[in-house]
Amino acid sequence: MSTFLLEIITPDHLAYSGEVDGLTVRGIEGELGILPGHIPFITPLQVAPINIKIGKEYTSIAVSGGFVEVRKDKVVVLAESAELETEIDVERAIAAKERAERRIGAKKRHQADIDFERAELALKRAMNRINVYSHLRK
């Protein structure tokens, strides 16, 4: 079975680099499966997990936006942030989720002058991290 190189790069570090059999990402148009020999393309990513297949094993990475570029023999993800499921601090993610939910609730009740879109994005990022962490525990 053929593989391809996957690199996930954030502004801070190289989050992942290795040969993979396939992966799925969530672009702005929906879920995309990428296998060796895929046609080249570039698309923005949603706040969602990247699921990587290596042999019979699967790994998830929580990605907060960015872009995916599929090349002939390599896929590059340029992400705002990326955390392997083993790197996620779930207590911190739960606290961020609760904080974002409180801010959104206060805004809906007109009790706070907050940036609703920023709070909603924080909630999406926290939920993504919690979901990826939960996937590891199954």
Distance CA 48, CA 26 (A): 6
Give the model's pLDDT for residue 18. Answer: 96
Give the model's pLDDT for residue 42. Answer: 96
Residue ranges of domains in the chain, CATH in brackets: 4-85 (2.60.15.10), 89-137 (1.20.5.440)
pLDDT in tens, the chain (138 residues): 599 999 999 999 999 999 999 999 999 889 999 999 999 999 999 999 999 999 999 999 999 989 999 998 899 999 999 998 888 888 999 898 888 888 888 766 665 566 778 888 888 888 888 888 887 655
SS3 sequence of 55-67? CCEEEEEEEEEEE
